[in-house]
Amino acid sequence: MPISWKSDAAAMAAAVRAKHVSAVELATAALARVDALDSTLHAFCTPTPELALREAAAVDTAIAAGAPIGPLAGVPYGIKDLICSKDVRTMSGAVAYADFVPDEDDIVVERMRAAGAVSLGKTNVPEYGYSGVGHNPVCETTVNPWNIERTSGGSSAGSGAAVASGMCPIALGSDGGGSVRIPSSFCGLVGVKASMGRVPLYPGTKDERYPGVSSWESLEHIGPMTRTVRDAALMLSVIAGPDSRDRLSIPTDDIDWIAAAQVRDLKGLRVAYSPDWGYAAVDPEVRRVVGEAARVFEQDLGCIVEEAHPGFEDPYGAFWGLVAMETDLKGMRAIVAEHGHKMTPHLVDFITRDWKAEDFTNAVMTRKAVVNKMWRFMQRYDILLTPMLAVPPFALHIQGVEKIDGRMVQPFQWLAFTFPLNMTGQPAATVPAGFTKSGLPVGLQIIGPHLGDAAVLRAAAAFEAAKPWADAWPALAQ
């Protein structure tokens, strides 16, 4: 099969290694696609065409010399603009960081480069990532390729739009409260938040030199955003693994990522399906699409599926307490003092709130309660299915809808299914479940037990084989 922008990363890398196509040819084609589409989508806030061509030429030179080449040889990709890239502007969607150029790469960027991947540039985010959408004070707003009047989600907004439109087959995102899974769901992609510690984080969440960016240590993950499960596994095989710069990183030799993503027989798998956690407001279209996807596990894949809920109470308030506790409030308040009149209002309100020690201890205790409910619940099941998001993609320039299925809700409560998994650290992936009647993507979340990453990938691959989605593209991308 000829290689084109519709090819997945695994196929592109194989073609480059076999010399059927050069890395420079792939990079040139990807850059042309960025030029054609990004004036509409605004996926890239800092394109790096010269760097892309240099990295691609280095791959071709290595292949010509017979030197070893990594598993992502020549594959174009995007890097979320909260992830540090040496000598490349990393704005974090913030006025204060509009000219910031890191002096070192994030660990995952080091590993992607070593694997032969070719960076097209930095992808757009909301300010410091404190949102689930794609607008900020310094860049044009990222829009959804499936409907440019709707949000692509966030905070890995640009990464979602870039992959969904075929500018690149894969991208890096980060997920402190759902930010890999949100845009992946809204854009019809695969997004994986591996178990806490599988993918090391540094320096973006751990370096005191970066106020605002340096935060969320016990919540944040970096993960793949792709069109296929095998590409997600391929990326994880590159970026996962311990590193001494991250004190929370764990060994990963118990996971063969590539093998885990091979389609497996799921017959007899014990599957829980929670359509609403027992308390969340969920859009009827989302319920319908995700309910149909859950039935695939029973009717097509032979799983034992039952509706059940973990039983924790809504931890929405506690999540934000954890975020505040892990935010550099001193540094961020200094930024607000200088730039607050230009910053996102809800972020300013969050930073300047009079946080109390009791807010933080209550958040920690609630997290413990959620973790305990979840591990006990997962003793009875191999995986847990939920909607990925409570609503389909919504309008631009709002933080979220305030009414879901007739219920008034807080603007961020459409994220009810995302942040509890950041609190527990469990592995979770979103895969395309189907579409609303108006043609907007809806994601299915697949959750594994503690360190159960292989189970998540196997279930995702089996569902992909039963209900394939790789040929579905937005009209804008054609």
* 106 belongs to a structural domain: yes
pLDDT tens sequence across 379-434:
999 999 999 999 999 999 999 999 999 999 999 999 999 999 999 999 999 999 99
* 4 belongs to a structural domain: no
| Residue-level pLDDT at 239 | 98
The one catalytic residue among 80, 122, 206, 373: 80
* pLDDT above 90 as % of the chain: 95
| Residue-level pLDDT at 213 | 78
Taking CA atoms, 48 is separated from 44, 123, 137, 311, in Å, by 9, 11, 21, 47
Instruction: Put the strands of the sheet holding 44-47 in their side by side order.
Output: 44-47, 118-123, 76-80, 170-175, 221-226, 190-193, 428-435, 441-447, 383-387, 270-273, 304-307
Name the residue with tokens 């798998």: 269
Could you tell me the two tokens for 273? 């399906």
CA nearest to 181, candidates 420, 452, 371: 420
* 137 belongs to a structural domain: yes
Taking CA atoms, 401 is separated from 151, 170, 281, 411, in Å, by 12, 29, 11, 6
What gap in Å lies between CA 197 and CA 250, rounded to an integer? 5
The one catalytic residue among 7, 179, 237, 274: 179
What band does 1 get if pLDDT is binned at 50, 70 and 90?
low
pTM exceeds 0.95: yes
Compute the average pLDDT of residues 432-444: 98
* 3 belongs to a structural domain: no
Domain total for the chain?
1
* 428 belongs to a structural domain: yes
The one catalytic residue among 7, 22, 119, 155: 155
* 306 belongs to a structural domain: yes
What gap in Å lies between CA 374 and CA 312, rounded to an integer? 8
Name the residue with tokens 């890096």: 172
Q: How far is CA 157 from the centre of its chain?
A: 9
Q: What is the mean pLDDT of the chain?
A: 97
Residue 185 is a catalytic residue: no
* 2 belongs to a structural domain: no
pLDDT tens sequence across 23-73:
999 999 999 999 999 999 999 999 999 999 999 999 999 999 999 999 999
Q: What residues pair up with 76 in beta bridges, in sequence order?
A: 118
Asked whether the CA dihedral 452, 458, 461, 467 is positive or negative, the reply is negative
Structural domain including 336 reads: 9-477
* 454 belongs to a structural domain: yes
Does 211 or 93 have the greater pLDDT score? 93
| Residue-level pLDDT at 49 | 98
pLDDT tens sequence across 329-378:
999 999 999 999 999 999 999 999 999 999 999 999 999 999 999 999 99
Name the residue with tokens 């409560």: 413
pLDDT tens sequence across 148-190:
999 999 999 999 999 999 999 999 999 999 999 999 999 999 9
Residue 80 is a catalytic residue: yes
Query: What CATH number is given to the structural domain containing 196?
Result: 3.90.1300.10
